[in-house]
Structure 1
């Protein structure tokens, strides 16, 4: 996998922005934000060395082509907040990679989502509101701002290689997914993918990845999820 970072200045660190969500429904403390906030304002200088992974089994001390600097932000689980905040993440100076993280109660694995859909958002958000309703009766991305956006968008990240790398590092419960759930997670994913297409050249948009994580301790603790996220980002940006 070729590195995805923008080659504008090889001397500066990669800029990675990562988001987590707030509470919703019966999730009073969202593990996505708990895992993500630990990364804020940290810098990664070499491939993460994970507990229990022998240096003989993993090229874990390789240095990236540049350091990787993380910033993190909190997203409320509401359509209005995501519609406002997610596009703003790509304002100058735009990141080289955007990672969104959300929790899934239906799976025990870390899932790298592969696609995001434009319509089908029929569930109420954390404030009881729904996505906009179009003239055709579908809820989702409505209006001139989104008119030219396709029905489905896919990430540029080569998820298969990321999954293989994390499995080598001992994360057995990790997979690709084609169904991000048609709720605020997928809504956020589509928002960022569509914004990237609009803001940059269509053939080289800012790479965006959505990652679902399981509830805390099922099977990974918060610190383990944070470690997995570091390795995901390192792998994406360095083509490992």
Structure 2
């Protein structure tokens, strides 16, 4: 995600009850495997949202599950795990506890003018979520994407607050993948 999207979300914020932390995480297997766990340990977040820019995306896409296998492409440091897995020995697929269909419907109904869709292809697990966004001006402005991300995250937090098993935590952590 480029600086304009990151700055737009920081400017909009997520309300006084939410601590927003924005980190740029390189698209590198080894960097993700070391940085993400250290951020979880540091902040103990209620929710983590990973945002990635997809040149193929035409909507803001909420990912329902994360796949662990089938990674054959080189990352930005020209590395690919020999096992072709993100986490060796991990499950094939991990579904998010967040009802992405409901988040999509609520954000769409809010009338932001940004198309939001749900994918089952890649993405999230546990108290994490992955959102793909299109590049700036293809078709949305940085402001449009910032407002859409703000609405999506607020819906996700509301959903977690209404869950039977509440996760008590004072922090919000936003992980940015580019």
Residue 66 of structure 2 is aligned with which of 94, 113, 116?
A: 116
1:133 paired with 2:103, answer no
TM-score, normalised on structure 2? 0.79
Per the alignment, do residues 213 and 229 of structure 1 end up closer, same or farther by CA in structure 2, a change over 3 Å counting? same
- Normalized per residue, the structure richer in helix is 2
How far is the alpha carbon of 1:83 from its aligned partner?
Answer: 1.2
TM-score, normalised on structure 1? 0.60
| Structure 1 residues without counterparts, runs of 5 or longer | 1-29, 46-65, 181-185, 194-204
Residue 9 of structure 2 is aligned with which of 20, 24, 39?
A: 39
Aligned partner of 1:176 in structure 2 is 118
Aligned partner of 1:98 in structure 2 is 48
Aligned partner of 1:228 in structure 2 is 148
Residue 76 of structure 1 is aligned with which of 3, 26, 50?
A: 26
| Structure 2 residues without counterparts, runs of 5 or longer | 163-178
The 4+ residue runs of structure 1 with deviation greater than 6 A are none
When structure 1 is superposed on structure 2, of 225-234 and 85-94 the one drifting more is 85-94
Counterparts of 2:49 and 2:78, CA distance in 1 = 26
**SS at 2:61's partner residue?**
strand
- The structure with the largest alpha-carbon Rg is 1
**SS at 1:80's partner residue?**
helix
Counterparts of 1:177 and 1:157, CA distance in 2 = 13
**SS at 1:70's partner residue?**
coil
Higher relative contact order (CA 8 A, sep 6+): 2
Provide the alpha-carbon RMSD of the alignment.
2.3
Query: Could you give the per-residue CA deviations for residues 136-170 of structure 1, whole angstroms, max 9, x where no partner exists?
Result: xxx1135xxx43x3111011111111111211222
Counterparts of 2:132 and 2:17, CA distance in 1 = 25
Total equivalences in the alignment = 159
Q: Which residues of 2 match residues 1-240 of structure 1 at below 5 A?
A: 30-31=1-2, 34-40=4-10, 43-45=13-15, 67-130=17-80, 132-134=81-83, 139-141=84-86, 146-147=88-89, 149-170=90-111, 171-180=113-122, 186=123, 189=124, 193=125, 207-239=127-159
Counterparts of 1:128 and 1:92, CA distance in 2 = 29
Counterparts of 1:42 and 1:86, CA distance in 2 = 24
Aligned partner of 2:170 in structure 1 is none
Cα pair 2:104 2:118 within 8 Å, conserved = yes
